[in-house]
Amino acid sequence: MNIYFTQAEEDSSGRFADLMAKSRMILFGALSLLLFFSTLEMRGAAQEPSDKATASVASVRPCPADSLNSKPARETKKKGKGAGSNEIPPACMEVQTPALDVQDFFQSFVREQTWRIGEENIAEDAWIFYRYIDKDELLRFSKEGPFAGRVNWTQGKALIQVRTRELEKGFTRVEVTARFRGYGQNVDRFAPPKDSWLLESNGTLEKTLISALESHLNSQH
């Protein structure tokens, strides 16, 4: 009787040992899977900011130097002399955004600034308009050149051109130019009668528009 009891006890102990061994194997396998997926998640989290940074950098880039050809506006071709001929190149940037979205942004931005604008000409690849400015704005955005001290300025207007051209890989080249006409009175009373003069841009107004577009695109990443 004791022999049968002892054998039964041994069989029970063997089965219990087998059960414990299987339980340990299952637990070890579950822990291994948990560690594997945790490692993958950590790698993905570490890589995500890098991917976002790369996308942000790639969405905005400077224009190639050979693309910055200064093209005088239609007004500078009219009869008369301006402040000089050393015109600065357009403010230029290439963005990974459709041209239509770029034009929509600029039109929305300008209206949010409550600028006094008029004589708009909207095309598929360009937006041309005048911004009417006071004396302080005229002096801030333009170069007086040879007219410094010779004219008492009262106001002015800026002819602004925003041009876009679609490139490869979803990029759009954006060029902004500005030309100025200042109004005032000639200090020399014996000079020929004249109440307006063409002035060149110093680049400030164009950079304001380009910087606004860049900030807008960077905020989306």
pLDDT tens, position by position, 2-48 = 444 445 445 555 555 565 666 666 666 666 666 655 655 655 555 55
pLDDT of residue 54: 42
Does position 121 have pLDDT exceeding 70, yes or no? yes
State both tokens at 42.
């950590």
Find the Cα–Cα–Cα–Cα dihedral 163, 182, 72, 203, rounded to 10°: -60
Mean pLDDT value of segment 183-210: 92
Eight-class DSSP state of 125: T
Return left, alpha or beta for 170; rule: phi > 0 is left, psi -120 to 50 is alpha, else beta.
left
How confident is the model over 43-102, as pLDDT tens digits? Answer: 555 555 444 444 444 588 999 987 765 454 444 444 444 444 567 889 999 999 999 999
165 closest CA partner among 88, 212, 102, 74: 102
Residue 87, φ and ψ in degrees, nearest 5: -75, 145
| One-character DSSP codes across 2-25 | HHHHHHHHHHHHHHHHHHHHHHHH
- Residue in the structure block whose two tokens are 């963005």: 95
User: How confident is residue 191, by pLDDT bands cut at 50, 70 and 90?
Assistant: confident
pLDDT of residue 59: 86
Task: Quote the Cα angle for 177-196-191, to 5°.
Answer: 140
Residue 155: how many other CB atoms lie within 10 Å: 16
Q: What is residue 216's predicted lDDT score, i.e. its pLDDT?
A: 92
pLDDT, tens digit (0-9, with 9 covering 90-100), for 138-182: 999 999 999 998 999 999 999 999 999 999 989 999 999 999 999
